[in-house]
Amino acid sequence: MNPSRLLYLAIGALALSLVAAPRYAQAQGRVTLDSSYGCVSCHAEHRQSFIAGIHSEWGMRCHDCHGGDPTAFEIASGHRQPFLGNPNKRETVQLCASCHSDPNQMRQYGLPADQLAEFRTSRHGELLLARGIDDGPGCTDCHDAHTILPPDDARSDVHPTNISATCAVCHDDAEMMGPYGIPVDQFETYRASAHGVSLYEKGNYASPTCVNCHGSHAALPAPPGEVPNVCGQCHVLVRQEFFEGPHGDGALEGEIPGCLACHSQHGTEHIPAESVQATCRECHETGTPEDVMAGKLQETLVQAEQDLEEASHSIDELVRHGRDVTSARLRFRTAKANQLQLTLVQHSLDTLRIEDLSRRVRSTSRGIQEMAEVSTEHRWEHKLMTIPVWFLALAVVFFSAVKLSGVRRTYE
C-alpha cells in the first residue's frame, strides 16, 4: 500500500468518525454491522455484499435505506414501519436522490449532486420517470444496490473497463430492444473497433467507452450537428480540420451526419486510402467536380502510402548491405509524421495543404531511396573491383599446375 493511499485512508477514517459516523450513529445509537445489528443476523448474504461497498465504509447501515428497527431480532419488529421493503426502480431513484441530489450533503465529499437532474434528461429517465416503464435502467442497474463502488474502482460496474458491458446487459438484449426499434450490435461492434481494442487489449484509458460519447446519467444519442464535437473531445485536430472544410457547415445544419458521413458510429473504421473515392460516391455522383476531387485525393493518399512503403524497403536494403541506417530511420520518421498529418489534414479537403504535405512525404522518401540506390551502386563497384584479383589468383593456380606437370614429365 503506498503512503498516499494510507494518508487518504487515515483522513477518510478521521472524517468518518467526525462526520458520517455520529450522524448515522445518532439515528439508531449503534453503527457496527456485527451480531448486535439485528438485520444482518437474518440477512447475512446482504451483509457480505454491503460491506464490500463504499456506503458501509462511510458508516451507512441497512436501516438508512430500508428503515425498520435494527435492534430487533424478529421479522415483525425488525421490519417495523416505516419500512421500505424491496424498493422498485422509481422508489430507488427517489431513495438515492434523497442524498445524492442534495448539494448540502454531497459538498463535503466533493461529489456532484446532478445525477438525478441529468437522468431526467436522458432517454432512460424519460422512460422510467415520465412514462412509468420499467425496461430502462434505474440507479441500481448500473451501480448495484448494495456493492456500490466509486467509478475509479476497477471492481465497479461503472469503471471504464466494465461500463460498456453494463450497458450491454440491456443493449445486447434483442427481446428488450425490439419494441423500441433499437439495434443490438453496439457493444459487439464497439468491442472490435479500434476504440474497443485500444481499451481492452492495450489498456489505453484515453479510448472512449459508451459513456464518453453518450453521457452516463444523461445517456442520449448525439444529434447529427453535435457528432463532430463528441468525437472532437479527443480528435481535436480532426474536428478543427473538418470544420475548415466544405462539410463543416452542412454538419452544423444537420444536412450531413458529421463524422458519420464517412466513419460509422460504433465501428469507427479506418478508411483505406484505396476506397476514399468510393466513400465519397455514397453522396457525390460520378463525374461531378466533387467526385473528380475525390479521385485526386485518393491518388494523393495512395501515393503517400506507396512512397512510405518504398522508403521502408530501401531501409531494409540498406540493412542488408550492412550500412548505418540511423539517418535513414530518422528521415523515415519525419516522412511518417507527415503522412499521419496528411491523414488528418485531408479532412479539410484543402487541396493546397494536402499537396504540400504529400510533396514532403515524397521528397523525404525519395531521399531514403536514393541512399539505397547509392549503396547498391557502391556494392557493384566493389564487386567489379574484385574481378582482377580473382583473375590473378586463377592465373597463378593455372601456371603452377602447368609448371608442376612439366616438372613431373622431366623426372619420368
Site for ligand HEC in 6-65 (CB under 6 A): 38-43, 46-47, 50, 54-55, 58, 60, 62-65
- Residues that contact ligand HEC, how many (by CB under 6 A): 141
* Nearer residue to ligand HEC within complex by CB, 210 or 328: 210
246 binds ligand HEC (CB under 6 A): yes
With binding defined as CB under 6 A, does residue 293 bind ligand HEC?
Answer: yes
Tell me: does residue 362 bind ligand HEC (CB under 6 A): no
Give just the sign of the alpha carbon dihedral 382, 387, 389, 390: positive
Sign of CA dihedral 193, 196, 199, 205: positive
Asked if 68 touches ligand HEC (CB under 6 A), the answer is: yes
Stretch that binds ligand HEC, among 1-9, 97-105, 309-317, 397-405 (CB under 6 A): 97-105
Residues 196-235 that bind ligand HEC (CB under 6 A): 198, 202, 204, 206-208, 210-214, 216-217, 219-224, 227-228, 230-235
Q: Is the peptide bond before 137 cis (omega within 30 degrees of 0)?
A: no
Closest CB to ligand HEC among residues 266, 331: 266
Q: Cα(first)–Cα(last) distance of the chain, in Å?
A: 97
User: Binding to ligand HEC by residue 238, rule CB under 6 A?
Assistant: yes
What per-residue string of b and e applies to 276-288 under the rule 16 or more CB within 10 Å gives b?
bbebbbeebeeee
Q: Does 263 bind ligand HEC (CB under 6 A)?
A: yes
Q: Which of 66, 323, 360, 362 binds ligand HEC (CB under 6 A)?
A: 66
Report in angstroms how near the CB of residue 147 gets to ligand HEC at its nearest.
Answer: 10
Question: Segment contacting ligand HEC (CB under 6 A): 69-77, 372-380, 381-389, 403-411?
Answer: 69-77
Q: Judge residue 26's burial from the number of C-beta atoms within 10 Å of its C-beta, 0-12 exposed, 13-18 middle, 19 or more buried.
A: exposed
User: In this structure, are residues 252 and 273 in contact, taking their beta carbons and an 8 Å threshold?
Assistant: no
In angstroms, what is the minimal distance from the CB of 363 to ligand HEC? 18
> Is residue 74 close enough to count as binding ligand HEC by CB under 6 A?
yes
Beta carbon of residue 248, minimum distance to ligand HEC (angstroms, whole number): 8
Least distance (Å) from ligand HEC to the CB of residue 341?
A: 10
Residue 353 binds ligand HEC, judged by CB under 6 A: no
Other beta carbons within 10 angstroms of residue 264's beta carbon come to: 11
CA distance 26 to 49: 24
Among left, alpha and beta (phi > 0; psi -120 to 50; other), residue 159 is beta
Least CB distance to ligand HEC at residue 263 (A): 4
d(CA 167, CA 266): 14
As a residue count, the chain comes to: 412
Q: Is residue 255 within the footprint of ligand HEC (CB under 6 A)?
A: yes
Kind and range of the H or E element at 131?
none
Phi and psi at residue 83, to the nearest 5°: -135, 130
